[in-house]
Amino acid sequence: MAKFDGKHVRGVIGNSVVKTGPNGQIIQSKPENVRQTVNTKKSARLFGQASTLSKYIRTNLRQTYDENGDMGMINRLTTLNRVLLAQCLQAETQTFIFTADSFSKLAGFEFNTRSPLANSLWVEPEMSLLNNMLQIRLPAIAIPQQLKFPVNANLCDLELEVAIFSLQPCYGKTPYRATIEIAKNQTAVPAQSWELELPEGCLAVAAIGLKYFSLYKNIKKPLNSEKFHPAGIIDAIFKPGHFNIPQPIKSANRVQGSGWSELDNLQL
């Protein structure tokens, strides 16, 4: 209903809304109530789940790319996870069923498409699961053939980070991190491997980032930027089964946390 305040008419008149702006009165169409269909609500819910899961993946792997992702990185990762979750969603029950390779297409995801990891690191790391042990293997690296150094760089920190999440219920573990310091004048880096436990019902997402420096008189000058920061996901593996929430470890003098925390606003 419109009202007259002595100078202007304000409010709803039929299908129009009258407002007062800095340059006089404005007449706009009355906004319509938009009713969401069942499918629209399902699609919105799936997008929200993909967006939240992507946020936790980015947050737990950020040491590999230091927030130097490209402008479209957030949208690309959310879009990819939405496709993967949709593939796992059972239409009749609207529940998710995850298998070992449900998230395998995350492998090869680049955090910065302007400087792909594959253009700087010319070996292929491998990740596998044996029983409940996650194994990550980095082949020997020949320098400079298989690790490229940009101009002015004479030192590289290869950062490995592994994010682990339970998906039903949704919990996250403190990320596993490892760093290999590589000098440009080295001829090779020996093959390396890491092993860590992956509980049932959990997803492991591993990423590698390359951080370059100019080292002079023991002073390391970072050379990475938003335009150049090779980093990407090398693999993602899900361990089927039921996840049991670890309890804090209690001793006579203190209580030690389990290293797991609930993922807020994420339900799968």
pLDDT at 26: 66
Q: How far is CA 212 from CA 59, 86, 162, 193, in A?
A: 21, 38, 21, 22
DSSP assignment letter at 58: H
Q: 19 - beta bridge partners? A: 26
The whole-chain average pLDDT of the chain stands at 90
What pairing do the DSSP bridges indicate for beta strands 231-239 and 170-183?
unpaired
For residue 229, give the nearest of 149, 121, 109, 116 by alpha carbon.
116
For residue 121, CA distances in Å to 15, 229, 234 come to: 62, 12, 12
* Helix, strand or coil, per DSSP, at residue 195: strand
pLDDT at residue number 27: 66
Residue pLDDT, tens place only, 90-115:
989 999 999 999 999 999 999 999 99
Q: Convert the pLDDT of each residue in 182-209 to its tens digit.
A: 999 999 999 999 999 999 999 999 999 9
Q: What is the pLDDT of residues 154-167, one digit of tens each?
A: 999 999 999 999 99
- The confidence band for 247, taking pLDDT boundaries of 50, 70 and 90, is confident
Report the C-alpha gap between 10 and 45 in whole angstroms: 37
Q: Is the pLDDT of residue 262 over 90?
A: yes
Question: Is a pLDDT exceeding 80 seen at residue 248?
Answer: no
pLDDT for the residue 31: 62
- Sequence spans of domains, the chain: 38-246
Predicted confidence at residue 8, as pLDDT, reads: 63
Tell me the mean pLDDT in the region 39-48. Answer: 90
Residue pair 152/220 in contact (Cβ under 8 Å)? The answer is no
